């Protein structure tokens, strides 16, 4: 059906929109044509996220003895190290005690807590854009669970977290430090002519 104006028409409910030149679509478009061979610049690509550059871990997987205290704790009671790492990675939404207890329960029932802890390694790698090892997170935890937990613990320590006070303690500490930072004195401008 056509409207009273000869240049336009009414749209039926068939789901097809009329073709309109220079229609506003809400998608940003560059002013130059992307197929124009005279311009040497690359066309703008919208909506495509460039992959983030992955950074290496601050310590190696087998650098366990660089922190002997954590190495001994992880060897004798890995649930403590895992609980501390999981609390920081979860940003305080779960406690160290709850994660450590769940880790211990999985260890006692199934015997393979690495299936649980490898998910936290993946989550931590995503948060801090860390490189993945060649064999993957699950294989790292399955083959060398204590070394993987020690590496994650050291990584968080090297990023400034005090693992003994948990997420909320670290947040409070950083807030106190931010308040106590002295502001530089205001500089008065010199004389003007």
Tell me, letter by letter, the H, E, C secondary structure of 160-175.
CCCCCCHHHHHHHHHH
pLDDT at 135: 79
pLDDT at 77: 93
pLDDT at 158: 92
Structure tokens at 170: 């670290």
pLDDT at 82: 94
Low-confidence ranges of the chain (pLDDT < 70): 1-51, 181-185, 190-193
pLDDT at 141: 86
pLDDT at 34: 44
pLDDT at 181: 64
pLDDT at 65: 86
pTM: 0.65
pLDDT at 142: 87
The Cα–Cα gap between 96 and 9 comes to: 66
pLDDT at 33: 44
């Amino acid at each position: 059906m056509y409207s009273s104006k000869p240049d336009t028409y009414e749209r039926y409910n068939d789901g097809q929109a009329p073709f309109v030149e220079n229609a506003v679509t809400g998608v940003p478009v560059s002013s130059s044509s992307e197929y124009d061979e005279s311009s040497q610049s690359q066309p703008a690509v919208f909506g495509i996220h460039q992959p983030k550059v992955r950074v290496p871990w601050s310590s190696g997987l087998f650098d366990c003895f660089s922190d002997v205290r954590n190495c001994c704790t992880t060897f004798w009671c890995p649930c403590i190290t895992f609980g501390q790492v999981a609390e920081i990675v979860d940003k305080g939404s779960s406690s160290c005690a709850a994660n450590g207890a769940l880790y211990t329960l999985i260890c006692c029932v199934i015997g393979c807590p690495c299936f649980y802890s490898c998910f936290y390694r993946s989550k931590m790698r995503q948060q801090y854009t860390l490189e993945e090892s060649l064999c993957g997170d699950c294989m790292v935890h399955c083959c060398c669970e204590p070394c993987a937990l020690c590496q994650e613990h050291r990584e968080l320590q090297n990023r400034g977290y005090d693992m003994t006070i948990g997420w909320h303690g670290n947040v409070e500490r950083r807030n106190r430090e931010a308040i106590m930072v002295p502001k530089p004195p205001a500089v008065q401008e010199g004389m003007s002519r």
